[in-house]
Chain A
């Protein structure tokens, strides 16, 4: 084993070791050693990832087996690593954000009795996510895919006495399982038709199967590649929370804020985007799937953005913005701009983790009140959080020169090219992503203004906030911020372990786009990783022709539609919420129906609860009572027993023991016999 292979192994195993130490022995070694162990594990993973990243940039790609999981039917199912530029970039993002979140957690979870458990979970998550991105085959991908789902489940329900938390985590797991249902069938089709689950062999064979048809139903056929990619994408829809499987993500905010940043913004939810990018050789072979991907992404990008406007919980605003941004990435995938999707994945990981962690810092400062209507003017009290939030918001809305600008503008341009090229669905996607720019700017700065500027509303609202959000009640979490504690509610800046990660994330949120756009989108970084059929999908090739440097791109954008839309979004939100707060109130009054629809999140939750959850239970009860209890047990089993019982009761009556009964029976018998003989 070479030195590099040792490094590859270290990357997932170091966080796993940390998770095991904190999880199994946390009770013995205490809080400090637990967080030291896990942070050391993730730090080792980060350093190794950095070295691997350098090595990959030097042109060293690795594709090899760690061990053979099983062999059966001449299929080798293996655990192995594929270390290429895409993996290396994901490893960097995952380990860096995870490291920041680990450090931040020391401050955020300081008073929580489940401290060691929390560290164990987030390290376990880091391990799982790394196994997912480093996989060189579908089996390990699926392992990582489900393992991150498990940890997400455990962390959403971290405060397991809160009914909302344990509702949300079950919902998240089950909705993801719906996606996995498709995903597994997709993997099954791959195995059935390619005879292997190894990426490299599958991709190598794929062109030969381009025109294969699948007999689906009574003589109907469908393209094999369309079926495979659609099913795989259903998996991505679950994990990356795409419409209509998006319903679990807003509820996942019940988990502690550090994991909202790490799992439900920066890394796990982008697994679907990563997976589709990894499978670009397959997705390129089905225009149907790509169009479907683009439309689903567009719906998610725009309609989830709308919902961000009316949220008052600081974390939910950020959650809807995450949904919307995931929609942007998906749209880019649909336009065959895989590298742009991954680029946005990376910039988004930094600025969205930043926004979530800032929100967490605000929540600490506000003594665990999450309602933005109770905030205001916090910039005076929390200067570091204020500046870093501003940076994050500016990056999110795509301000020129910020990281989000480069990735989001590239998505919009790519979709525009796809539309001009006449790809089905692209016109809808283009309209959505452009309109989404205004919406994003509006809800982002609505939150920003309400939290950091304007009137200080926390004096009046503190008590009410606790009533609406009864939290941390059973865990001693608010020992220091208890309900009886009605003095000194002045918000305060968070400690250094909280603000340091904010600063560390703010830096890439500003510069990473400017630095990385050229190598990632237009250079040779992704050569050999992403496959694009340029004659059908010219987006990337055209973008490359139009690109004349990162600085020019930003300057040129000042005259473009998206920039002005973003600017007007900011100005409108300032006008609405700083200048004339009566306007949004009036709008809410006049458009009550629309408001109610949005408040109900378009009714998906109600429908799912009623139709799927209630329907399955009703069907189960029906089958149980009718099938098992009445028919099988009642009629067949006990019925047989009863029949035998009845029969023997009847027979028993004949055996009376009286001679004259038997004699009578004999006489009848003899009479009958004689009659029968005489008859002939």
Chain B
């Protein structure tokens, strides 16, 4: 019954159109209307994305919900969309996150409301485009275009050092992606004038070419993930970004990098991927251990969670480059879980920041006395961040560690250190912020959650628990695509 509907186009264009409409409300006099329109637009975006899951056929690895139209015939660039078990969950995650950020910015943003909401809606559509594009040039356009709204969000609604952070973020990611453009054009000529990603995946390539292509893609995606040592833009961007910006940044945009590895590096350059496994695993493990230690000593909550994000994303890249089902599926689960948990953590910091206008751990203490409901939510999310079984945070980490033991015991040994470090930095922060006596007079006046905040934290809490208790519905949709991907990667493409 849904066969005739261009679902993927809807997931891209419904939020973008909604964003344009919101922009049309203009000045802050119409702020209530802008908020309402943004909410309707984001919910509509989620509703049109939902059938992608409910009508997804998990038995095939082929692209589904495919749409095809010629875009620039002269260069054979096409508007070609489709999703498989790897990209579909990410589209849903993105559409869901958009609703969250609209709610999170509801009262908090009072300046240029329409523009703020519109930026997020347009960004949401563009990110859906990144995950749905099957044409490399279309992918590249979405990939670069989504930077603009995020750049504006950080640069306009950000903190005091927002300009430094925004420019650092923009240059970092742009520098990375320029070489990808070269790689795509090279592949275009190799594939006899086709920008189809699936055509790229079938191309035979020499080892030399593969290595160069791998490095070009690597730079683009490693910056996005971000992997050590190209991660330093993330803590700055998070610290300066408004809550909504941090949520989208952590929950969704980091996943674009990991998705890129799965969609480009592994299938297009399988031999180079195998050849560089040690390199990738090393960087991932450095992210887990080194960044975990760095997170421990942060005094700024947003910075701490930003570093914790990098550490958690280390599990994603580790899982991907173990080349076994458990590892890749674990990486995917970790991506989605991190989407929920990091969003929840940043929203929680936002809740605190809105009341006290400080992100410093030292300015808090004893919050449980004043905000018991909030403290309970934060406890749950902190435990999820520390990977407690029964929460989503456990599932991906567990799968990746299990997969790592299969490959090399010492990979698992180093990765499992996160059990200690993750608990240490998260719960130590929790202790200093939430437990203890109230020492700062300002904390005394803090009010517990308002219904709007309660609602979005409760939704996330339910998702975090549901995914921890019953992850099967999620992993079922991945099996075929992951199996297909791994089968593809196992075959050499050397001519």
Contact = CB atoms under 8 A, between A and B. Distances in A.
A150 interface: yes
A69 B294 contact: no
A637 interface: yes
Contact of A620 (B233, B293, B398, B406): B293
A185 B403 CA distance: 11
B229 A192 contact: no
Given A69-B472, A70-B475, A617-B296, A160 B368 contact: yes
B44 interface: no
10 contacts: A71-B476, A143-B390, A146-B390, A160-B435, A161-B436, A173-B427, A174-B427, A216-B409, A474-B437, A617-B296
Nearest to B438: A161
Interface stretch (A456-464, A627-635, A661-669): A627-635
Contact of B402 (A146, A188, A620): A188
Given A69-B471, A188-B416, A628-B294, 11 more contacts: A139-B398, A146-B388, A153-B427, A184-B419, A187-B402, A188-B405, A189-B409, A619-B293, A620-B293, A620-B294, A624-B297
Contacts of B210: none
Contact of A191 (B293, B402, B476, B479): B402
Interface string A171-208: 00110011011001101110110000000000000000
Interface in B151-187: 168, 172
Contacts of A150: 383, 388
A72 B297 contact: no
B409 A191 contact: no
Interface in A604-639: 616-617, 619-621, 623-624, 627-628, 632-633, 636-637
Contact of B472 (A71, A139, A157): A71
A633 B297 contact: no
Interface of B: 168, 172, 229, 231-233, 235, 290, 293-298, 324-326, 329, 366, 368-369, 379, 383, 388-390, 394-395, 398-399, 401-402, 404-406, 409-410, 412-413, 416-417, 419-421, 423-424, 427-428, 431, 434-437, 470-472, 475-476, 479
Nearest to A68: B472
A189 B435 contact: no
Given A69-B471, A174-B424, A628-B232, A616 B409 contact: no
A37 to B, nearest CB: 18
Given A72-B329, A73-B325, A157 B405 contact: no
Contacts of A157: 435
B411 to A, nearest CB: 10
Contact of A184 (B172, B383, B398, B409): B398
A623 B366 CA distance: 30
A75 B297 contact: no
A26 B49 CA distance: 38
Contacts, number: 138
B369 A161 contact: yes
A188 B326 contact: no
A677 interface: no
Nearest to B423: A177
A591 interface: no
Interface in A460-488: 474
A75 B437 contact: no
A163 to B, nearest CB: 7
A67 interface: yes
A147 interface: yes
B390 A147 contact: yes
Contacts of A529: none
Contact of A69 (B233, B298, B424, B470): B470
Contact of B389 (A67, A147, A189): A147
A170 B412 CA distance: 25
B471 A185 contact: no
B181 to A, nearest CB: 20
A174 B425 CA distance: 10
Contacts of A637: 168, 172, 232-233
Nearest to B379: A154
Contacts of A163: 436
B412 A185 contact: yes
A427 interface: no
Contact of B475 (A71, A146, A187): A71
Contacts of B437: 161, 474
In the A-B complex, the 4 residue pairs with the smallest Cβ-Cβ separation, listed nearest first, are: A188-B405, A620-B293, A73-B325, A620-B297
B420 A178 contact: yes
Contacts of B329: 72-73
Contacts of A624: 293-294, 297-298
A107 B325 CA distance: 54
Contacts of A170: 427-428, 431
Contacts of B471: 69-70
Contacts of B420: 174, 177-178, 181
A595 interface: no
A216 B405 CA distance: 11
Contacts of A146: 388-390, 394
A616 B421 CA distance: 9
A5 B404 CA distance: 36
B68 to A, nearest CB: 32
A354 B475 CA distance: 47
A174 B423 CA distance: 7
A507 to B, nearest CB: 36
Contacts of A72: 325-326, 329, 399, 475, 479
Interface in A66-95: 67-73, 75
A73 B479 CA distance: 8
A181 B406 contact: no
A157 B379 CA distance: 12
Interface core residue of A142, A143, A154 (most chain B CB under 10 Å): A143
B419 A180 contact: yes
Interface core residue of B366, B394, B420, B475 (most chain A CB under 10 Å): B420
A637 B230 CA distance: 9
Contact of B232 (A70, A143, A632): A632
B297 A621 contact: yes
A177 B410 CA distance: 18
Nearest to B389: A143
Interface string A134-176: 0000010011011100100110010011010010001001100
B290 A623 contact: yes
Nearest to A166: B435
Contact of B324 (A73, A153, A623): A73
Contacts of B398: 139, 184
Contacts of B232: 628, 632-633, 637
A637 B168 CA distance: 9
Nearest to A182: B416
Contact of A181 (B395, B417, B472): B417
Interface in A333-364: none
Interface in A439-459: none
A634 B409 CA distance: 36
A214 B476 CA distance: 33
Contacts of A633: 232
Nearest to B326: A73
A425 B450 CA distance: 62
A508 to B, nearest CB: 32
A610 B398 CA distance: 30
A509 B326 CA distance: 48
A627 B423 CA distance: 23
Contacts of B428: 170
A627 B399 CA distance: 30
A627 B290 contact: yes
Interface core residue of B172, B293, B421, B431 (most chain A CB under 10 Å): B293
B423 A173 contact: yes
Contact of A70 (B404, B410, B472): B472
Contacts of A185: 401, 405, 409, 412-413, 416
Contact of B229 (A154, A184, A621, A632): A632
Nearest to B235: A628
A67 B470 contact: yes
B419 A181 contact: yes
